């Protein structure tokens, strides 16, 4: 059965130690070649694994891994055949190795093995495409659209009129984009919808009148958006997703929202219209935010928080209606995990190579 | 950078006053031309804005708007250069102007600048299309399907066998429709799925047996459905969405549901199978409704209400399990806002022109 | 107006009695032909219906159905013209008849009336397709992909490089599949996304570093997945959906999850990364599960339960955070209904023909 992806390179333990600043145990083989990553329990002799939690000490004792990134206090527990790379921060080091072994996995590519523009793609004659763009079969690129160099447009994606997409982006299969400006190095996973009309009506007893949605969606550089997410264009202000923000699958972001830089928005979050979210905020899974709310920079919302009032910068809120303190502890597992690991990496500024 | 949409026309302040029944302040220029809409803080001399809330008085004092629709008690606060249009209901008046300036934005159009049937579309030879239909590239229209005059089928949409779509509809990019009858002036945004099998099994310890889903989806006139929403066809009764109902993104509607006329169903709502919803009901974001529930006409469910029992007509419920009264106040921001504005428009029967 | 589906056959009451082990009332016409199913209130003379609940006795008295599967205690209430088929388990018997009348509705088919490979499909020359495969127009099948005999790939679906799909599957319109191995008799409804990158980042104050997602999605035999659902591929372990499991619309399943066999996962459920779910578990609508949680075999989670800790096998939990007992009663309507009917069928091992 296919593995789909193979590492782009091998690394020696010496190279890994240099990349991660981990300390190779005296006597362990500097020249041993590592060809892949794996959890302790499934690893084989050419794999590297990691251990940062006593919960997995049982896996360590039985592992067949070729090497293990490990905190000093657990190092002595490694079986004899496993090369030991000691580091205070095994997980960030493991991520650094993963990124070094799989650089081509950092961005999705063609689903048809295309290098260039597939003959069966439909690029309007007024669209402007820079060099080195990959367009899969059955992608549609509309009038006056502009696409930057190095960008991949996957099969059946639809890019509407006048849309601008920057360089080195990956637009997934079946994505639709309209009324949008997209920066560089943006990744959009399959089935996501950008720039359609927001939900705007003037209700009345005679029926609800549709309000024209006249603005745009702006996606800044280095944003990643999961699958089947929906981001509506602005009604009277642009909807903006700030630089470096990462959005998961099945998220809804309403019209006129202003999402800051480097936020993390977990799956199935729903953000109503005209919400402002500060930089580095984290919204756990299934969080809901009422319209016209402001969430401060660095705030963290536990999974499924229902936000009905403004959240101060740096606050940890949870529950419904969301409030500070105890409720935060409900539903924060995923977020807490992310944050804990993020903090580790803060202390190890060169821990992640590429 | 492109603005994507431009108003289709300009209007003089005299025309706007006539349309909205607002009163132009004595001495203000009846012939001043308004070319666009904008919020107070971003408006320029050719834009019209509105003010109906003291919260934005600060924006008013600094605005550069050419005109402002404004309640009488705030009118004196407008800066000298701003033409003042007094009205008891500035927001419905602003919507009326928006609709008058952007009539082509009331319905999505081709994503490929097509007028007619794109050569790269796939229309089955037994399908029947009336005149003036736009079919984008890579749309698929199946055997015996019927499409009414003036309808737009966007790129990569798939219309299955025997599906009937009425006149002046807009079927978004990547939408799939099967086992469905669709009325006139229906708008369906990208990625929405209509008419697939409902979730019906006969569970057993030997595995769950699939139950054939033999009925249809009926979408009545003037319905609008957001992006990536899913509406299953009926198992033993048709799933029906009543005339004029508006459904947001990422909503789930199960098999056999009967949704009334002129309902508002906000993003991420989940409605289980065989639910009946009365006319003019409003369901806030992330509401969930258990199967076989009846929600009465005009009922309002606050955001994230979890409905486990029948809701009387006109009731305001919230919470989980949803109940009357106090819980309603949790999570109603979006809905309350919609309703408040709707009530205003009730009192001003001619406030929305077109 | 089209009905879209017609039964593939008719059955006599004698055949139905034999199939369901129901007892035809003395004197009722063994040779009467039944051509369709319907609820009591809409049934006509050629339809069969069922009654298992006193709530619908009113419908029974007025029905025009040709036959009714009915529990013995209600049998005397049937109007004179209705043939009565007595059985302790009318609903499973009704399902058995439905399956017998509509065998072709047990799996979606081509949306373009295609039998074979449409000329407008795009099958990479290195892909390997077995016999009797239907490929609709504008489907894309990538390099080295393998598709088993009898499988249908609907319009605009995209199958990525190296993907393996077994026999007698139905891949819906607009579905995208990558990095995935799919068993036999799997049904995937429109717009579902399989195998895209999971949500994996190493957060840091300088921005979040993307973690390569190197593993796969494995979908075992007889799985059915609803519309617009998202299942991410594994980061370090495969994401696995066990044999016979049924997943509804708009569900999110994160990377590295291990979902057991014969589970039922209702619409809008969100399962975070690295969750393990045991066989025959049931997750009600809008349930959320935090990462690294284990849910035991046969556990039932009421609608909207928020699971923050491990759930023992066989437990009934509900609420947020989810816990045993009383909270289970909140939000279990759909699930309880499914289970009740499942139990009935346990007692009637031959009650479901095909």
Question: Taking CB atoms and an 8 Å limit, are B267 and A199 in contact across chains?
Answer: yes
Is the pLDDT reported for residue C349 higher than 70?
no
**Gap between the Cα atoms of A13 and B131, Å rounded:** 70
Q: What backbone phi and psi angles, to 5 degrees, belong to B179?
A: 50, 45
Q: How many CB pairs under 8 A join A and C?
A: 212
- The alpha carbon torsion through B63, B66, B71, B77 (nearest 10 deg) reads 40
C-alpha distances (whole Å) from C78 to each of C11, C30, C62, C75, C81 are 21, 17, 9, 6, 8
**Average pLDDT of B178-183?**
98
- To the nearest whole percent, how much of chain C has pLDDT over 90? 86
Q: Do A290 and B303 touch (CB under 8 A)?
A: yes
Instruction: Determine the Cα–Cα distance for residues C138 and B140; give it in Å rounded to an integer.
Output: 8
Q: Which of C122, C178, C197 sits opposite A120 (nearest CB)?
A: C122
Instruction: Tell me the helices (H) and strands (E) count for chain C, helix number first.
Output: 5, 39
Active site residue C255: yes
Q: Give the closest-approach CA distance of A179 to chain B in angstroms.
A: 6
Q: What is the pLDDT averaged over residues C231-238?
A: 96
Q: Which residues of A are catalytic?
A: 255
Q: Who contacts A205 (Cβ-Cβ below 8 Å, separation ≥6)?
A: B280, B342, B346
User: What are B206-235's pLDDT values in tens digits?
Assistant: 899 999 999 999 999 999 999 999 999 999
> pLDDT tens digit string along A17-33?
999 999 999 999 999 99
- Long-range contacts: B42-51, Cβ < 8 Å, 24+? B42/A237, B45/B81, B48/B16, B48/B85, B48/B94, B48/B97, B49/B94, B50/B90, B50/B91, B50/B93, B50/B94, B51/B90
What is the pLDDT at residue B1? Answer: 65
Report whether pLDDT(B353) > 50: no
Of C103, C78, C89, the residue nearest C20 (C-alpha): C89
Per-residue pLDDT at C226: 98
Give the closest of B144, B178, B212 to C98, CB-based. B212
**Could you report the per-residue pLDDT of B181-215, keeping only the tens digit for each?**
999 999 999 999 999 999 999 988 889 999 999 99
pLDDT at residue A350 greater than cutoff 50: no
List chain B residues with CB under 8 Å of C279: none
Q: Neighbouring chains of B at 3+ CB pairs within 8 Å?
A: A, C
pLDDT tens-digit map of A209-257:
999 999 999 999 999 999 999 999 999 999 999 999 999 999 999 999 9
Reduce the DSSP state of residue A166 to 3 states and report it: coil
Paired strand residues for B129: B147
Report the pLDDT averaged over residues C277-282: 97
**CA-to-CA dists, residue C148 to A2, B346, C168, angstroms:** 16, 60, 7
**Between chains, do A345 and C290 touch, taking CB under 8 Å as contact?**
no
Rounded distance between C-alpha atoms, residue A183 and residue A185, angstroms: 7
Which domains can be identified in chain C, with CATH numbers?
A: 11-106 (3.40.1390.10), 122-346 (2.160.10.10)
Please answer yes or no on whether A164 and B226 come within 8 Å at the CB atom. no
Digit-coded pLDDT (tens) for C41-80: 999 999 999 999 999 999 999 999 999 999 999 999 999 9
What is the pLDDT confidence band of residue B3, given thresholds at 50, 70 and 90?
Answer: confident
Interchain CB distance below 8 Å, C321 and A330? yes
What's the whole-model pTM score?
Answer: 0.94
- In this complex, which of A112, A191, A222 lies closest to C124 when CB atoms are compared? A112
Interchain pair C162, A4: CB under 8 A: yes
pLDDT score, position C1? 65
**Closest CA–CA distance from residue A164 to any residue of chain B (Å):** 8
């Amino acid at each position: 059965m296919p593995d789909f992806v193979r590492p782009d390179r091998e690394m020696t333990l010496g190279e890994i130690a240099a990349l991660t600043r981990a300390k190779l145990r005296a006597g362990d083989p500097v020249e041993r070649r590592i060809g892949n990553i794996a959890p302790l329990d499934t690893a084989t002799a050419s794999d590297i694994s990691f251990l940062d939690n006593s919960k997995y000490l049982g896996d360590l004792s039985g592992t067949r891994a070729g090497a293990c990134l490990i905190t000093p206090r657990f190092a002595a527990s490694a079986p004899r055949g496993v090369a030991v790379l000691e580091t205070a921060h095994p997980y960030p080091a493991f991520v650094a190795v993963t990124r070094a072994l799989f650089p081509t996995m950092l961005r999705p590519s063609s689903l048809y093995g295309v290098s260039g523009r597939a003959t069966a793609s439909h690029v309007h004659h007024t669209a402007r495409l820079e060099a080195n763009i990959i367009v899969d079969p059955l992608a549609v690129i509309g009038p006056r659209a502009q696409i930057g160099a190095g960008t991949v447009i996957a099969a059946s994606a639809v890019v509407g009129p006048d849309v601008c997409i920057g360089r080195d982006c990956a637009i997934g299969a079946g994505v639709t984009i309209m009324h949008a400006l997209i920066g560089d190095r943006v990744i959009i996973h399959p089935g996501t919808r950008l720039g359609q009309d927001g939900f705007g009506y003037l209700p009345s007893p005679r029926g609800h009148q549709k309000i024209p949605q006249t603005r745009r969606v702006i996606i800044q550089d280095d944003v990643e958006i999961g699958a089947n997410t929906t981001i509506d264009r602005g009604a009277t202000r642009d909807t903006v997703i700030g630089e470096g923000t990462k959005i998961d699958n099945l998220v809804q972001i309403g019209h006129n929202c202003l999402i800051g830089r480097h936020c993390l928005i977990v799956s199935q979050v729903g953000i109503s219209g005209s919400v402002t979210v500060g930089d580095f905020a984290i919204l756990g899974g299934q969080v809901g935010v009422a319209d016209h709310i402001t969430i401060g920079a660095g705030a963290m919302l536990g999974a499924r928080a229902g936000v009905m009032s403004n959240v101060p910068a740096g606050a940890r809120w949870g529950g419904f209606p969301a409030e500070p303190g105890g409720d935060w502890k409900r539903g924060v597992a995923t977020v807490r995990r992310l944050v804990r690991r993020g903090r580790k990496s803060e202390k190890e500024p060169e821990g992640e190579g590429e």
